[in-house]
Amino acid sequence: MLVAAAVCPCPPLLVPEVAAGAAPELDAARAACADALGVLAASRPDRLVVVGPAAEDEPGTHPEGAPGSFRGFGVDLDVRLGGEKAADSARPLPVSLAVAAWLLERTGWADAPIEGLAVADGLDAERCAGTGIGVAAGPDRVAMLVMGDASACRTLKAPGYLDERAEPFDTAVARALGTADLAALDALDAELARRLKVSGRAPWQVLAGAARDSGLSGSLLYEDAPYGVGYVVAAWS
């Protein structure tokens, strides 16, 4: 049973050590993420499932304590997905889950066991919904931390250059996440999302599947597009 959810962006720049001199530009986003995680803690879950996008060769589950790193971004910083160190055989976290692990460490999460779920960018809406239904199945009180960015095409200097479809897409996403509109999330256009370099589409649709029959309501905590990339923070409770 899903009892709460937090939606956060997953750029490595959210980590101040990675952002370096540009770190203050995302202070408001970091603060909003901390507030969203506070909603998760207040729900007193039995377990926390962290969902994030991954490349097609990276999907799968990650146990509590799985390792992550930002060394690929030139920063000597390692993280773990909560708890004690996982077995040496545990696969490294994809970047989205490493950012989630950093957020959880930053806020001192110790409220429930954690498990990670990396979702392939191209997973279709029906399979996303089925995955979410599976996450929330059973009597346990489940909270979800859902990572993902909106479009990367909001300005000329954005990673995907300027696309006039990006801002309307992001506005619709922010509205859906801010109001827990499951139908709108289910209906997101996967092909358009791919063209706009949206990393959050599949994780958001997993959340929509998990939230069916939950009765959760949403609150939009942050929406902006620094660096030409849409970032949204929302909390459902």
Maximal CA-CA distance, the chain: 48
pLDDT digits (tens, 9 = 90+) for 4-62: 999 999 999 999 999 988 778 899 999 999 999 999 999 999 999 999 999 988 889 99
Which CATH number belongs to the domain containing residue 201 in this structure?
3.40.830.10
Phi, psi of 204, rounded to the nearest 5 degrees: -65, -35
pLDDT digits (tens, 9 = 90+) for 151-207: 999 999 999 999 999 999 999 999 999 999 999 999 999 999 999 999 999 999 999
Q: Which residues pair with 2 in a beta bridge?
A: 142
Give the count of domains, the chain: 1
Domain holding 126, by residue range, is 2-236
* Residues whose CB falls within 8 Å of the CB of residue 77, separated by 6 or more in sequence, listed in order: 15, 17, 18, 69, 70, 71
Structure tokens given for 158: 């954005």
Structure tokens given for 69: 């790193």
**Residues of the chain above pLDDT 90, percent:** 90
Burial classification of residue 81, based on how many CB atoms lie within 10 Å of its CB (0-12 exposed, 13-18 middle, 19 or more buried): buried
pTM: 0.96
What was the pLDDT predicted at 6?
98
